[in-house]
Amino acid sequence: MRVPYQKLVRDRIPEIVQSHGAHPVTRVLDKETYRQALLAKLLEEAHEALAARPAELPGELADVLDVVRALAAVHGLTWDQLLDIAAAKRIANGAFRQRLFLEYIDQPDTAPPASP
């Protein structure tokens, strides 16, 4: 029975699948297709983190982290550069420590729309 997956997987997954007696069929993606697959994988892992029970969340967050790390590399960024960009954004816009949830913005009719 053939089970389709059509998604990016971690490097050892084919080996693990084979150890269970199945035959995985894979291909190596070109750089642009790999980038697109990583973006799709980021969404997949984020959805899995959203659905995770508290005990499962650390593993799901680790998966998100590995995808972000791979995406940074594809875009020519080192991990330290990405961390520096994140730090600059925290300095400019703040972090998420205060648990603020923006309900709406009241603004005058003559003002251009605000962008949070």
Query: What pLDDT, in 10s, does the model give residues 55-110?
Result: 999 999 999 999 999 999 999 999 999 999 999 999 999 999 999 999 998 988 87
Say how far apart CA 12 and CA 18 lie, in whole Å. Answer: 10
Mean pLDDT score across all residues of the chain = 95
Given a cut of 80, whether residue 114 has pLDDT beyond it is: no
Say how far apart CA 66 and CA 79 lie, in whole Å. Answer: 11
Given a cut of 90, whether residue 7 has pLDDT beyond it is: yes
- Stated pTM of the model: 0.85
Reported confidence tier of residue 112, pLDDT bands at 50, 70, 90 = confident
- CA distances, 102 to each of 61, 91, 96, 97, 116 (Å): 24, 19, 12, 14, 9
**Do residues 56 and 45 touch, judged by C-beta distance below 8 A?**
no
Given a cut of 80, whether residue 35 has pLDDT beyond it is: yes
| Dihedral sign for Cα atoms in the order 76, 70, 96, 100 | positive
| Number of continuous H segments (helices) and E segments (strands) in the chain | 4, 0
Given a cut of 80, whether residue 115 has pLDDT beyond it is: no
Say how far apart CA 14 and CA 27 lie, in whole Å. Answer: 11
Q: What is the pLDDT of residue 41?
A: 98
Reported confidence tier of residue 46, pLDDT bands at 50, 70, 90 = very high
